[in-house]
């Protein structure tokens, strides 16, 4: 009997493509589901994804590509979900095959808008997947730098150490280092919250605040993130580890971050709607803000940054005035 | 009797100029010592410093400019030192007037090379100034953004709360917010250590590491800074406050930082000597590295980043190999 667990990636975007590339360094075959049949055909001929992360080489000979998600679920033991959180429910509705017994890793970094849950919780609550079969793959990691094979560090969180080790072994290579954690809730919330703080950084930049303020904002953001996560899932964690602080920084300081770009447009005076229409990609931070605000209203965490972003994005508050108020709450 | 304490700035560089500008928002007269008589003449005529931070308006009518440090010490109650740490001993050797009774604030962010002490300790040990009359002014704050009147946050550390409040009141304005702390040792070490981490960030960038690695480096740097400062001066502090983490970020992410530029040149293959000769300004991180390495060898703090930078700058180790080894010690 072959004990080797078969791994498939669900998603056709940049991060999914980067994960496929990383897995291809180690696995003979990587399952890869994406909706677009034409993208699959292109990859089979040209060994790169035509729509996202084109610069990453992915070799068709190693790939089991399919636009049928049920085939993937049937044939693979481990499923890595790497699609925008807003599309997750829609994809899962296609399922006719059971997820029972599957190991699910989330590489989504967002909240499921329909349920307001992080991805791990969604699979646990809605599909009854036990937490020991749920894991999280988190950065700090821009997909673009994976394509360039620049040294990056991933954190693999799973309560079951065997599953964490399996994923770690499958992803690491000469340009990828991995670290194992058992904080699936905290790492996933961090990955989601950092997108809100990247929106905040973008708004501040759009309003004309400079680098001095940005560093104060990030220093307050990591303290706010710590308070938030502690309310949700109290355990011993060092918030300055790469999966939390590192992930915040790589996004909050990246001028390529969609969330930061979205915030920047809002700061510069675009309405939320027009900023969203200008952007062809989804800014996870937009959905995350709504869910996080709701949670913080319930759990009582002190989160002035989330509140300010919420007021700008959902309450039609003037960004300039709202951030001016925010500056008095930071230190 | 007039209880108003008179404040003077010692130094003619960018940061000194920024501090003079901030004080000028509040004080009728600001004392300002610099060595260069021609710069003083220029400021008197043109209301800006000709050599550093030219864009900052400083009004001669508010300034008591002098190239005689003894005159300043005689006439002023509070002295803010804002000169490169390498020049401090030389300036202090000129003193004929006693510093007894003076309140000394350090805005130096470095180590005194001759004694290996941070500035506060130097004044305490060599000039017998009691710690309650010693304070620290720290960022995160690029002088350039003060010139542009962009919102910035300063931390004023002093064990004597009255002195801290006096300085806070004198510096704050519509674009400067201030926070008071009693951690004079920790904030000053943070200000010094962050320069080493900025050199490290520069070396990494020069070697071709990307943003993913930079965020891991900063995340490890703040944990290393915490370990280091805890060994030197144990007290309750939140290392993620702006004076520590914020200051690290504003320097470590700034492409204008002299320390980062210096490191970048070394990473790109310049010898340490030639990189120093190329730069007309002093990179504080160079001296800080030597002192910090010595201290860490004695106090046993685990500081892989400081050690790697030391080996490159002082042990003639190959930057590429040394940083490759370092990457295995980070997570």
C-alpha A263/C-alpha A257 separation (Å) is: 10
Partner-chain contact A142 B254, CB within 8 Å: no
The alpha carbon of residue A176 and the mean position of all alpha carbons in its chain are separated, in whole angstroms, by 18
Query: Using beta carbons and an 8 Å cutoff, which residues of A are at the interface with B?
Result: 139-142, 145, 148, 150-153, 177, 179, 208-216, 218-220, 222-223, 226, 238-242, 245-247, 249-250, 253-254, 327, 330-331
Q: What is the DSSP letter of A243?
A: I
**Pick from B213, B246, B254: CB nearest A219:** B246
- The torsion angle over the Cα atoms of residues A72, A78, A82 and A85, rounded to 10 degrees, is 90
pLDDT of residue A116: 86
The C-alpha of A304 sits at a distance from chain B's nearest C-alpha, in angstroms, of: 15
As for the ipTM of the complex, it is 0.96
Q: Answer for the pair B259, B206: CB distance below 8 angstroms, yes or no.
A: no
Residue with tokens 């320097």: B251
C-alpha B331/C-alpha B153 separation (Å) is: 30
**Pick from B215, B226, B250: CB nearest A140:** B215
pLDDT band, very low/low/confident/very high, at B1 (cuts 50, 70, 90): very low
A–B CB contacts, 8 A cutoff, strictly below = 142
pLDDT of residue B3: 62
Searching chain B, which residue's CA lies closest to the CA of residue A329? B177
pLDDT of residue A1: 38
Mean pLDDT taken over chain B: 95
Partner-chain contact B212 A148, CB within 8 Å: no
Give the whole-number percent of chain B exceeding pLDDT 90: 92
Partner-chain contact B215 A249, CB within 8 Å: yes
* Mean pLDDT within B138-146: 96
pLDDT of residue B111: 86
pLDDT of residue B161: 95
Strands (E), B67-127: 78-81, 103-106, 111-112, 117-118
pLDDT of residue B2: 47
pLDDT tens digit string along A276-328? 988 876 788 999 999 999 999 999 999 999 999 999 999 999 999 999 999 99
Partner-chain contact A246 B139, CB within 8 Å: no
Q: Which residues pair with B154 in a beta bridge?
A: B178
Cβ contacts of B231-234, under 8 Å, gap ≥ 24: B231/B296, B231/B299, B231/B300, B231/B301, B232/B185, B232/B186, B232/B189, B232/B295, B232/B299, B233/B183, B233/B185, B233/B186, B233/B189
DSSP code string of A181-223: ES-HHHHHHHHHHHHHHHHHHHHHHHHT--HHHHHHHHHHHHH
C-alpha B237/C-alpha B38 separation (Å) is: 44
Domains present along chain B, CATH in parentheses = 7-182 (3.40.50.720), 186-327 (1.10.1040.10)
Partner-chain contact A219 B141, CB within 8 Å: no
Residue ranges in chain A modelled with pLDDT below 70: 1-3, 281
- As a 3-state breakdown, chain B gives helix, strand, coil percent values, each rounded to 5, of 55, 15, 35
* Mean pLDDT within B113-118: 89
pLDDT of residue B198: 97
The C-alpha of A216 sits at a distance from chain B's nearest C-alpha, in angstroms, of: 5
Q: What is the DSSP letter of B253?
A: T
Residues 6 or more apart in contact with residue A46 via CB below 8 angstroms? none
Partner-chain contact A211 B250, CB within 8 Å: yes
Q: Answer for the pair A206, A199: CB distance below 8 angstroms, yes or no.
A: no
Cβ-Cβ contacts under 8 Å, A153 against chain B:
212-213, 216, 330-331
C-alpha B250/C-alpha B155 separation (Å) is: 14
pLDDT of residue A2: 47
Searching chain A, which residue's CA lies closest to the CA of residue B250? A215
Partner-chain contact A253 B215, CB within 8 Å: yes
pLDDT tens digit string along B258-306? 999 999 999 999 999 999 988 876 788 999 999 999 999 999 999 999 9
């Amino acid at each position: 009997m072959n004990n080797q667990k078969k791994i498939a990636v669900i998603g056709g975007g940049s991060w999914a493509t980067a994960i496929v590339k990383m897995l291809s360094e180690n696995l003979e075959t990587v399952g890869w589901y994406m909706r677009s049949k034409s993208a699959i055909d292109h990859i089979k001929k040209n060994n790169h994804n035509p729509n996202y992360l084109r610069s990453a080489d992915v070799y068709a000979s190693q790939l089991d590509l399919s636009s049928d998600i049920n085939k993937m679920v049937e044939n693979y033991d481990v499923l890595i979900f790497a699609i925008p959180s807003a599309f997750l429910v829609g994809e899962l509705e296609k399922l006719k095959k059971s997820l029972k017994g599957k190991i699910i890793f989330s590489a989504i970094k967002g909240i499921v808008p329909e349920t307001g849950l992080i991805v791990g919780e969604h699979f646990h609550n809605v599909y009854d997947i036990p937490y020991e079969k749920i894991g999280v793959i988190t950065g700090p990691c821009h997909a673009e730098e994976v394509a360039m094979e620049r040294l990056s560090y991933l954190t693999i969180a799973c309560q079951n150490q065997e599953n964490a080790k399996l994923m770690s072994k499958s992803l690491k290579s000469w340009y990828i280092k991995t670290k194992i954690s058992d904080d699936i809730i905290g790492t996933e919330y961090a990955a989601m919250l950092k997108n809100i703080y990247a929106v905040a950084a973008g708004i501040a930049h759009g309003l004309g605040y400079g680098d001095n303020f940005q560093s104060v904002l990030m220093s307050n953001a990591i303290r706010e993130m710590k308070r938030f996560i502690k309310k949700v899932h109290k355990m011993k964690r060092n918030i300055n580890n790469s999966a939390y602080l590192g992930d915040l920084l790589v996004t909050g300081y990246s001028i390529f971050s969609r969330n930061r770009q979205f915030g920047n447009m809002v700061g510069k005076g675009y309405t939320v709607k027009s900023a969203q229409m200008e952007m062809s990609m989804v800014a996870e931070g937009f959905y995350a803000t709504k869910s996080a605000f709701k949670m913080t209203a319930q759990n009582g965490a002190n989160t002035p940054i989330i509140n300010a972003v919420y007021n700008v994005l959902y309450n039609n508050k003037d960004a300039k005035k709202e951030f001016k108020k925010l500056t008095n709450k930071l230190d």
